[in-house]
Structure 1
Amino acid sequence: MNDRSRSPYRPARRGPKRRGTPPPAPKDPARRIAYEVLRAVDARDAYANLLLPSLLRERGVTGRDAALATELTYGTLRRQGTYDAILDACVDRSLRSVDAEVLPVLRLGAHQLLATKIPPHAAVSATVDVARKVVGHHRARFANAVLRRVSARGLEEWLPIVAPDRAADPLGHLAVVHSHPRWMAEALAAALGDAPDGDLAETERLLAAHNERPRVTLLAKPGRAAVADLIGDGATEARYSPHAAYLPEGDPGALRAVRQGRAAVQDEASQMVALALTRVAVEGSDARWLDMCAGPGGKAALLGGLAGQRDARLLAAEVQPARARLVAGAVERSVRDAARTVVADSTRPAWRAGAFDRVLVDAPCTGMGALRRRPEARWRRTPGTAAELAPLQRDLLHRALDAARSGGVVAYVTCSPHLAETRDIVAAVRAERSDTEPVRAADHLAEVPDVAVGDHAQFWPHRHGTDAMFLALLRKL
């Protein structure tokens, strides 16, 4: 056999392909899947938390390969800003000029080199092998050259080279070191009350927390499961919510209560803001509750269970039919079948004004409070995203107040701490109405320390280990 026939770039001749024979599985399924998810996030705004599990199931990838694919995907997305700064120093031209198909390969390799225990030669070799299959031999050689330059230094050696000087530009330094767009670091510092040129210690703790893997929190749906059921299957007692438990490890779908729909994954702050709404005293009737933006159904499942236990009824409205189906599945078999799901646009209410005793509006937002679980959101949002959402948020809060009866209570919730979609929205709506008064949210969250921001409540990953949920409670006069 001559050297030409042994070339790894020349496929061997094979006989006719049998009909129905599936294509051979990739030799490195973890890196291949991670690459495909990263590429889809860039190219079509895919959601990693939806696409990654789907690809793992579709290709039968489990065990160590599934764990590696998960670490490579989420680790790369979380630290993308830092890696891009380092890669930009390692290419001969601007990183912006690199082919869109090649960039995920470079980021994937950078993560292995700078943040994992994979030996550098193995990280480069394995990543370049994937590159040959997905972007071709020529561009794989380019990736190989860049990654070898990255491997010349460790992360702590690279940061002083690529990050702005901390003394001269504190926020710029933190944005690169902790992998956030600068505008987002500025918005988060403002929400915390940190001055850009002052002590940014808490801002740094928050940015660092966004790059940590969040724990899995479970909701035992009231009336259908107890926390003891989850603890019996390996979960541990939660810190705040009486309906929550933490799963230290493993697949939550393997738990019997989760498989049966009696429990679900839900962040503890999401549980607590819904519970706070149910704890506010209302005079007179307390039989009609409304969840105006119910998809995908986590808070509706909790509210529906509590409503049934109190002889109340919950109407869960969702404008998108697909998400409404998720809501219907989440609230199915609630206590006394207390929850009903409808497809409805809450900005054009299908119900009469003043019909409800309690109203939850979990408004669409930037999602800046869930950056641990959805790390790609930090690269998908822009400085103008909050301003674009503000009219809808104001409209929904107005319609929520219209839907509440006199003496009823409204909870305005966002999974974001950004002032432009939290306190500013509430202040703007209240300035346009004379029929509301604030209810101090922290008074109804007695289990949670350090959550009060004036009359409102703000959860934080670095303080509470939860998503950064915002809550304002308003009573209709």
Structure 2
Amino acid sequence: MTSEQGGRSSHQSNRSGQGGNSGGVRRRDDAGRERNRSTTRNRTDTAPGQRTRVADPARLVAFEVLRAVSADDAYANLVLPTRIRRHGLDRRDAGFATELTYGALRAQGTYDAILTQCVDRPLSELDPAILDALRIGVHQLMAMRVPTHAALDQTVGLARAVIGAGPSGLVNAVLRKVAAKELPQWLSELTEGLSDDVKIASIEHSHPEWIVRSMRQALVAHGRDVSEITALLEADNEAPVVNLVALPGLGDLSEAFEAGFTPGELVADSALSSGGDLSRLESVRDGSVRVQDAGSQLVARALAAVEITSEPNDGEERWLDLCAGPGGKAALLAALAAEKGAWILANEPSVHRAKLVSQALAAVPADTWTVRTGDGRDIGKEHPDAFDRILVDAPCTGLGALRRRPESRWRRKLSDVAELGPLQRELLTSALQAVKPGGVVAYVTCSPHVAETIAVVEDVMRKRDDLELLDAGAALDAVSLSHNVGAGNAASAVPAHQKMAQLWPHIHQSDAMFLALIRKN
């Protein structure tokens, strides 16, 4: 007999006057109201004295990160490490918290579709904290090797500890409904009767429909088969590998290799790891080795290596990073500039981010770089024909980095693409004014969306007759270890597309970086 059954049996005896010390009188609270003894009340199967009443630290960390993302528009990758340290998690618990956090964020769309079937009201009417607790519970039930009883008990205990006893009952009831079916059965039911491939992919792979649609369009625009969309969306949902780069001439990866990192296969001076505390590496602490996605490394190296015909000032090339914050590509470019005897100006409009750029550049000889705080759209007018190489790492939706920032897929909107378009065009126009004749501008986005990539380049180039589009795929091949990262990017029938390059998570295991190289004649 369960505790619930036992409680009801005793209560029935009391009501009938057949024992107990209640004398057959119904129990009432201090206000005189009869207590709810409904047999339909949701309870756990665990006796009250055995129910978890404290929050497991690893699950608490995941809950706090989801709350920060939901309530404060925080980025999980910035909040998670601080919460792990605050709660003193060991390596195993930190790994659990990381998987739970990112897994719940990535699959939020799918999990919300499941929860909609299990909650008796619209999810928008739930307390946001309860919804975050439910998402954590669903991920444990659907995608982690956590026994059902443990997922239920610990998630209900988390809710009881940090939200309240009342909401914990709702969490318990809903998660029990979720646990009645496994993920494949849920997906089958959720997509039954649907004929729209975009809607189906959105549910199955947890991406908003507008992102699925834009990814399909991007694949086709770069000559790829639309059937690759499944592999692309699956790659977005995989935990990314940590990429390190040793700044050329300054950094050394031997310490990272001793710590278990493996050599990168895509780009020189890089290393890969599934994670861990990078702050334990002295080379990371001193800035000579940095965390940077392989795609970002490739586009920076491609710009630094591409042939130019401009005349250097007094034999020294002048480079410009037009949108330098927070400084990752600027640091790599500055190290490459130092090797070539060049000098780089790193521009950033935000004062706070400009400070981050200075910190990122600290490991590079100070006479190689200067940080400018100002609007990049003004540089073309203020310094016309002044730079040999210019990087325009344009502000974008970041759809190419959904593996690393899974919350972005729920935070971004289709309207963001249209709002960013004018800024992207103005920055590229400014760069083309600032580059010397014979110099090269690299237009880069961490997004494959056609409206942020091909359309921007074509619109800006259409207004001038002194520009030449270089083969960006060949430039990437020239600086990659595999020498074939540009392959497959030039199959479109439109000539301009043939010279623009797009990296893909499902092909290159990198962020979806776009690169166009433009020379001023």
The answer to which of 74-83 and 315-324 deviates more is: 315-324
Aligned partners of 1:451 and 1:458 also within 8 Å = no
Deviation by residue 1:18-47 (Cα, 9 ceiling, x = unmatched): xxxxxxx96411111211111221122110
Q: How does 1:57-456 map to 2 (within 5 A)?
A: 57-163=85-191, 165=193, 168-193=195-220, 200-228=226-254, 230-283=256-309, 284-285=311-312, 287-335=317-365, 337-349=367-379, 351-446=382-477, 447-449=483-485, 450=487, 452-453=489-490, 454-456=498-500
Bigger Cα displacement from structure 2, 366-375 vs 35-44: 35-44
Q: Assess if the C-alpha contact under 8 Å between 2:236 and 2:403 holds in 1.
A: yes
> Percent of pairs identical after alignment?
48
Find the counterpart in structure 2 of residue 44 from structure 1: 72
Letter of the aligned partner of 1:384 in structure 2? S
Please state whether the residue corresponding to 1:60 is helix, strand or coil.
coil
In the TM superposition, residue 416 of structure 1 has moved relative to its aligned partner by: 0.4
After superposition, the Cα gap between the structure-2 partners of 1:186 and 1:151, relative to the gap in structure 1 and judged at 3 Å, is same
Please list every run of 5 or more consecutive structure 2 residues that lacks an aligned counterpart in the other structure: 1-20, 22-28, 30-46, 478-482, 491-497
SS at structure 2 position matched to 1:416: coil
Contact map agreement 2:55 2:158 (CA 8 A) in 1? no
SS class of match (1:384): helix
More deviation, 428-437/386-395? 428-437
The alpha-carbon deviation at position 147 of structure 1 amounts to 0.5
- What residue in structure 2 maps to residue 459 of structure 1? 503
Please give the alpha-carbon distance, in whole angstroms, between the structure 1 residues aligned to 2:343 and 2:243. Answer: 26
Structure 1's 448 and 297: CA in aligned 2 closer, same or farther, altered over 3 A? Answer: farther
Instruction: Please tell me whether the aligned partners of residues 54 and 160 of structure 2 are also in contact (alpha carbons under 8 angstroms).
Output: no
Alignment deviations for residues 305-352 of structure 1 (CA, whole Å, 9 cap, x no partner): 010111100111111122111111111131463122221211222841
SS in 2 for 1:400: helix
TM-score normalised by L of structure 2: 0.84
Please state how far the C-alpha of 1:385 moved relative to its aligned partner: 1.0
Contact kept in structure 2, 1:76 and 1:107, CA below 8 Å: yes
Rounded Cα–Cα distance in structure 1 between residues aligned with 2:221 and 2:371? 42
Moved over 6 A (4+): 6-9
Deviation at 1:164, TM superposition (A): 5.1
Structure 1: how far apart are the matches of 2:363 and 2:471?
Answer: 33
CA contact (8 A) 1:308 1:336 kept: no
Q: How far off is 1:62 after superposition? A: 2.7
Q: Distance in 1 between matches of 2:221 and 2:186?
A: 27
How many residue pairs get aligned? The number is: 457
Residues in 2 aligned to 1:75 and 1:373: alpha-carbon distance in whole angstroms: 11
Alpha-carbon distance change, 337 to 227 in structure 1, aligned in 2, over 3 angstroms: farther
State which drifts further: 50-59 or 453-462.
50-59
Distance 1:229 1:308 in 2: 23
Contact 2:54–2:158 under 8 Å retained in 1? no
Distance 1:335 1:223, change over 3 A: farther
Over alpha carbons, which structure has the higher Rg? 2
Change (3 A) 1:213 1:384: same
Once residues 7 and 412 of structure 1 are traced to their aligned partners in structure 2, the CA distance between those partners, rounded to angstroms, is 62
Whether contact under 8 Å (1:294, 1:300) holds in the other structure is yes
Instruction: Tell me the CA shift for residue 163 of structure 1.
Output: 2.4
Residues 215-256 of structure 1: CA deviation (Å, up to 9, x unaligned): 111010111113455434432221121121112453222223
* Deviation at residue 299 of structure 1 after TM alignment: 0.6
Give the match's secondary structure for 1:417: coil
Structure 1 residue runs without a partner (length 5+):
10-24
Seen in structure 2, the aligned counterparts of structure 1 residues 92 and 199 have a Cα distance that, compared at 3 Å, is farther
The Cα of 1:102 is off from its aligned counterpart by 1.1
| 2:497 corresponds to 1:471 | no
Farther off after superposition, 134-143 or 457-466: 134-143
